[in-house]
């Protein structure tokens, strides 16, 4: 009866460590021992709170998953110390900074963070630094274990294909190889127009109109516009450097000059600053282009398309001479995915406008002129283009001839996961481990944990 009560309390996800301690009538409690490493209920509850502070939802399995993950990490950590691995301090400091920025931004500042976690920020830094130091050793040990997997040869891939269930082979989605010719609208004129509009708004604010009112009417940042342009207390590191540098230099209630970022043009008013964080209002405006810009570009692109189809000029030559996209003009217009470096695009890697233009084309055909976006900034800049389909690789089950690299990685990944599983299963069996029965109803991934529960009182 007592065991069922404790498990029920855990399953209903008691968020606060203090509340959990009150339930068990203790200040804190060891819920697992792995070797000489103790795992406290407060450690699990603090991690739950950290994840929730960053917007992650809690469910009834979160604590079970966290406990199993922590126990696995302790096994890697123990071996890392045996192997005399050293902490990567650069990684630790980078992760610590990102963690602090995320939590401070989500909760709204140092005071709110300290209230939420019930402890001063310096203690949280210490705890998180310790966790990231252990993570550094754990990841290095995992990498060291996986490096035992030899390089995968063509023979290994052939053997994999001969023995695996064919229905479990990866399906390669349809892929496109594309080339483009791009023309940009008159950016200089559009930039000048938006600057003039922002200068007018700045003058109106200086003459007494409310920044928040004008932000609601004119700002093109939908997230903040409905809040009168207010961004909320956030770390300077999450903004473009040009934006945060100006914001951090402003005094409250002072209106900035125009600030240009990859998102567009801004004027900024700082509400509050605290350390490396600030709360500011801004009005964002982006260059707007006219039908005249579009029609002029479309006429040029349509003429180029006609010349190419009539074989008066090659697509590559037209791209070299007329395309205004520096990333593709020098290689005959061939597009490359900036995220992967690959010349092949899957559907979800293409911009919607680009895919709609080429989805019904055959190899060698060229789209009509379209309006699309480039890869600059968060949302991209307006660009006009024509796209040629150079090659289509139909969706298919992976084969040795066409997808060797994919299959090679599949085999390698499987072997790396196996050596990790073998390591953990062996260590679970060999290591002194005790788990509190309050976690007995957890559906752990590894069955070896089931033999490690302590007896109830």
Closest CA to 403 of 179, 234, 175, 247: 175
Do 104 and 51 lie in a common domain?
yes
Q: How buried is 355 (Cβ within 10 angstroms: 0-12 exposed, 13-18 middle, 19+ buried)?
A: middle
d(CA 383, CA 380): 9
Q: Are 301 and 183 in contact (CB under 8 A)?
A: yes
- Structurally, the chain folds into a number of domains equal to 3
Q: For residue 161, is it within any domain?
A: no
Is residue 234 in some structural domain? yes
430-443 pLDDT per residue, tens:
999 999 999 999 99
Per-residue pLDDT at 55 exceeds 70: no
Cβ neighbourhood burial of 73 (10 Å; 0-12, 13-18, 19+): buried
CATH of the domain at 87: 1.10.4030
User: Domain ends where: 263, 285, 307?
Assistant: 285
Is residue 166 assigned to a domain?
Answer: no
Q: In this structure, what token pair is assigned to residue 386?
A: 């024509």
Q: Please report the pLDDT score of residue 78 as a whole number.
A: 95
Q: Do both 92 and 74 map to the same domain?
A: yes
Please tell me whether residues 7 and 145 are part of one structural domain. Answer: yes
Is 158 part of any domain? no
Q: Check: CB of residue 333 under 8 Å from CB of residue 387.
A: no
Whether 123 maps to a domain, the answer reads yes
pLDDT classification of 456: cutoffs 50, 70, 90:
low
Task: State residue 57's pLDDT score.
Answer: 64
**Residues 178, 389: contact at Cβ < 8 Å?**
yes
Structure tokens at 351: 């911009």
What are the DSSP E strand ranges found in 220-328?
234-235, 259-261, 264-274, 277-285
Same domain assignment for residues 322 and 429:
no
Q: Indicate whether 410 belongs to any domain.
A: no
Q: Please indicate, yes or no, if residue 160 is contained in any of the structural domains.
A: no
pLDDT exceeds cutoff 50 at 246: yes
Using the 3D structure, point to which of 226, 253, 285 is the last residue of a domain. Answer: 285
Tokens of 278: 């600030």
User: What is the band of 58 on the pLDDT scale with cuts at 50, 70, 90?
Assistant: low
Higher pLDDT, 70 or 2: 70
Q: 101-115, 276-290, 398-412: which has the minimum mean pLDDT?
A: 101-115
Mean of the per-residue pLDDT values for the chain?
88
Contact 286, 265 (CB under 8 A): yes
pLDDT in tens, 299-351: 999 999 999 999 999 999 999 999 999 989 999 999 998 878 889 999 999 99
Burial (CB count <10 Å: 0-12, 13-18, 19+), residue 257: exposed
Q: Are residues 371 and 258 in the same domain?
A: no
State the CB neighbour count (10 A cutoff) for residue 232: 16
Query: Does position 13 have pLDDT exceeding 50, yes or no?
Result: no
* Domain end point (choices 251, 285, 319): 285
Residues 220 and 103 grouped into a single domain: no
Residue 373 within a domain? yes
What backbone phi and psi angles, to 5 degrees, belong to 66?
-65, -45
Integer Cα distance of 298 and 302 in angstroms = 6
The number of residues in the chain equals 457
Give yes or no for a contact between 53 and 116, defined as CB atoms under 8 angstroms apart: yes
Does 101 score more than 90 pLDDT? no
Nearest Cα to Cα of residue 161 among 394, 399, 405, 395 = 399
End-to-end CA distance of the chain: 11
Alpha carbon distance 418, 398 (integer Å): 22
- Residue 30: which of 67, 5, 2, 56 has the closest Cα? 67
Q: Cα 322 from chain centroid?
A: 36
Residues 245 and 230 in one domain: yes
Sorting pLDDT into bands at 50, 70 and 90, what band is 5? Answer: very low
Helix axes 89-107, 110-117, angle to 10 degrees: 90
Question: Which region among 24-33, 137-146, 216-225, 445-454 has the lowest average model confidence (pLDDT)?
Answer: 24-33
DSSP structural state of residue 434: E
* Token pair of 22 as six digits: 């009150």
| Whether residue 10 is found in the same domain as residue 120 | yes
Confidence of residue 33 (pLDDT cuts 50, 70, 90): very high
- Residue 235, classified by CB atoms within 10 Å of its CB into exposed (0-12), middle (13-18) or buried (19+), is buried
CATH code, 334:
3.10.50.40
CB under 8 Å to 24, separation ≥6 — which residues? 6, 41
| pLDDT: which is higher, 6 or 396 | 396
Q: Report the alpha-carbon distance of residue 91 to residue 98 in Å, rounded.
A: 11
Q: Which domain holds residue 198?
A: 189-285
CB atoms within 10 A of CB 299: 11
One domain, residues 195 and 277: yes
Q: Where do the DSSP E strands lie in 275-381?
A: 277-285, 344-346, 370-373
CB neighbours (10 Å) of residue 110?
Answer: 18
Residues 267 and 314 in one domain: no
Q: Which residues pair with 176 in a beta bridge?
A: 345, 392
Pair (381, 232) in one structural domain? no
Same domain as 280, residue 219? yes
Contact indicator for 257, 249 with CB cutoff of 8 Å: no
């Amino acid at each position: 009866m007592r065991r069922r009560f404790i498990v029920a309390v855990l399953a209903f996800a008691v968020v606060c460590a203090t509340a959990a301690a009150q339930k068990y009538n203790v200040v804190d409690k060891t819920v697992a021992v792995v070797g000489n490493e103790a795992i406290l209920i407060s450690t699990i509850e603090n991690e739950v709170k950290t994840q929730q502070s960053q917007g992650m939802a809690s469910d009834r399995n979160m604590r079970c998953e966290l406990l199993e993950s922590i126990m696995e990490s302790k096994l890697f950590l123990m071996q890392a110390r045996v192997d005399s691995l050293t902490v990567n301090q650069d990684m630790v400091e980078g992760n610590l900074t990102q963690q602090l920025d995320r939590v401070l931004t989500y909760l709204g500042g140092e005071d709110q963070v300290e209230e939420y976690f019930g402890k001063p920020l310096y203690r949280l830094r210490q705890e998180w630094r310790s966790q990231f130091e252990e993570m550094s050793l754990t990841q290095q040990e995992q990498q060291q274990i996986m490096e035992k997997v030899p390089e995968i040869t063509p023979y290994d891939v052939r053997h994999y294909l001969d023995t695996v269930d064919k229905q479990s082979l990866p399906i390669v989605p349809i892929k496109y190889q594309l080339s483009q010719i791009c023309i940009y609208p008159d950016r200089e004129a559009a930039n000048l127009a938006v600057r003039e509009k922002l200068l007018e708004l700045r003058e109106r604010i200086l003459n007494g109109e409310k920044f928040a009112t004008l932000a609601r009417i004119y700002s093109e940042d939908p997230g903040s516009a409905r809040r009168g342009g207010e961004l909320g207390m956030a770390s300077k590191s999450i903004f473009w450097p040009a934006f945060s540098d100006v914001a951090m230099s402003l005094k409250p209630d002072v209106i900035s000059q125009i600030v240009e970022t990859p998102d567009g043009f801004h004027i900024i008013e700082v509400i509050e600053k605290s350390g490396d964080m600030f709360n500011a209002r801004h009005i964002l405006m982006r260059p707007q282009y006219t039908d005249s810009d579009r029609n002029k570009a479309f006429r040029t692109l349509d003429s180029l398309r006609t010349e190419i189809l009539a074989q008066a000029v090659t697509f590559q030559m037209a791209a070299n001479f007329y395309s205004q996209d520096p990333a593709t003009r020098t290689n005959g217009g061939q597009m490359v995915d900036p995220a992967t470096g690959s010349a092949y695009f899957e559907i979800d890697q293409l911009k919607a406008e680009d895919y709609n233009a080429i989805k019904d084309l055959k190899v060698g055909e060229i789209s009509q002129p379209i309006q699309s976006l480039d890869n600059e900034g968060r949302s991209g800049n307006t660009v006009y283009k024509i796209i040629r389909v150079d090659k289509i690789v139909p969706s298919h089950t992976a084969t040795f001839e066409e997808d060797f690299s994919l299959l090679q990685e599949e085999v390698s990944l499987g072997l790396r996961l196996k050596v990790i599983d073998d390591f953990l299963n062996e260590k679970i069996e060999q290591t002194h481990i005790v788990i509190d029965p309050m976690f007995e109803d957890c559906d752990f991934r590894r069955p070896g944990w089931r033999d490690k529960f302590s007896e109830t009182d």
